[in-house]
Amino acid sequence: MSPTSVGEEEIVGEVAAGIDLDLAALLNSMAVGVWVFDAKGEVVATNTVGLRMAGARNLAEVRAKSHSLEHPRFYLEDGSPIPPECMPVKRALAGELAEEMEFYDDSGGRRTVHRVRATPIRSPAGAIVGAVKVAVDVTKEHALARAKDDFIRTAAHELKTPLAVIKANAEAALHALQHDAAPAIRSLEGLSRGIERVDRLINSLLDLLDVQGGLFSVSRLPVHLDELIGHVISKLPQNVAARVRVTDVSPIRAQGDEPRLRRAVYSVLDNAFKYSPRNAPVEISLQQDREWAVISIRDHGIGIPFEKQSRIFEKYFRAHVGTPHDAGGIGVGLFVAREIVAQHGGRIWFESAENQGTTFFIELPIDRTKQP
């Protein structure tokens, strides 16, 4: 519930009676929730952020539901309840300078996290006459930290898999070279595929770091998009490349950074194969639409659930994680592909329906400069 405006006298309350009313403006300008309690533990003042955190419109509502500020609905990260004697305000009223605590709350339909500290208020004689509690909403910071941890865990797993393949093929090749060259060739081909997979993952991570650090830039050289598509297909494993159906590719040229454009097209194409039935075709075309070159990549796979489509280009997001369709990955391919295309003055979008497949479109400005 959104707080309404609160009068200065109401904000300052009994505790601040006689103090310059600029204190109210100061409290309301703070980005943290502030509550003042009397010696009995009753709320006597708060600010607008405090009202919002308490789900109240004014100080009277906060007083009416003051128990919610130290309510047992709050729990620790491991899910255990916080004992009443450990609540920050109770500790402050007992004379303790309570260290920061993090409170978790699921009551609003989503998990929120507040970092809280309480301090006793003492009279000139040293008697405890109340307490001040300050709370900061750190929900977004926690979500970011979890996303980072999940990303590191997933990236480590994704690197571990091809490295295990490389190791196994290297051992097989060494063994086969002592007896028969044919198995050695197959093992060396496996080594090459594993190395390329690691190389693509590392390049995606480097592009991600460039994007996040504001260092992302592209060169402006002629790029023949029909040849680029052929190059990307040639880098696919043979059994996967055999499933590509080139439906219509016109000789169209753009300007840009060819290695990065290859990575963008590869990311979309790889995504199509990940979520398609085994042996199902993936169709790719390149056509001109006025001043634009449009690459389309269509699969006949499981599609993207409607409720997840708005997040498909988010960093670290994987639409099918935790489902039988989870194909792995670190969730940065489409995010980086969008950034690459945007840096070239283009855009990327898709059309999808569950169990009917997905079509991604990459639109790039055509290069009309005359070449020597």
CATH number of 8-137: 3.30.450.20
Is residue 43 over pLDDT 50?
A: yes
Average pLDDT over residues 76-89: 75
CA 159 to chain centre: 20
Assigned CATH class of 139-216: mainly alpha
Is residue 253 over pLDDT 80?
A: yes
Is residue 143 over pLDDT 80?
A: no
Higher pLDDT among residues 86 and 5, named by residue: 86
> Among 92, 62, 46, which Cα is nearest to 1's?
62
Residue 371's pLDDT band, with cuts at 50, 70 and 90, is low
Residue 281 carries which side chain, given as an amino acid letter?
Answer: P
N- to C-terminal Cα separation, the chain: 66
The whole-angstrom separation of Cα 135 and Cα 40 is 20
E strands, 257-308, in order: 282-289, 292-298
For residue range 7-26, list pLDDT tens digits in order: 434 434 433 443 445 667 77
Average pLDDT over residues 167-172: 73
Which pLDDT value is given to residue 357?
92
Average pLDDT over residues 128-144: 84
State the CATH architecture for 217-372. Answer: 2-Layer Sandwich (3.30)
Map tokens 């040849």 to a residue. 227
Reported as half-sphere exposure (CB side, CA atoms, 13 A), residue 72 has a value of 5
Is residue 142 over pLDDT 90?
A: no
Is residue 140 over pLDDT 50?
A: yes
Helices (H) and strands (E) in the chain, counts: 11, 12
The answer to whether residues 299 and 262 touch, using CB atoms and an 8 Å cutoff, is no
Is residue 2 over pLDDT 50?
A: no
Structure tokens at 79: 């899910």
Which pLDDT value is given to residue 261?
94
Sequence ranges of the domains in the chain: 8-137, 139-216, 217-372
Is residue 157 over pLDDT 70?
A: no
Percent of the chain predicted with pLDDT > 70: 76
Examine domains 8-137 and 139-216 and report if their fold is the same. Answer: no
The whole-angstrom separation of Cα 52 and Cα 131 is 20
Mean pLDDT score across all residues of the chain: 79
Residue 1 carries which side chain, given as an amino acid letter?
Answer: M
Higher pLDDT among residues 39 and 12, named by residue: 39
Is residue 232 over pLDDT 50?
A: yes
For residue range 268-311, list pLDDT tens digits in order: 998 898 888 888 999 999 999 989 999 999 999 899 988 889 99
For residue range 194-221, list pLDDT tens digits in order: 777 777 777 777 777 777 666 667 788 8
Q: Mean pLDDT lowest for which of 145-159, 215-229, 273-287, 312-326?
A: 145-159
> Do the bridges between strand 282-289 and strand 244-249 make them parallel or antiparallel, or are there none, so unpaired?
parallel
pTM summary value: 0.54
* Plot region of 79 (φ>0 → left; ψ -120 to 50 → alpha; else → beta): left
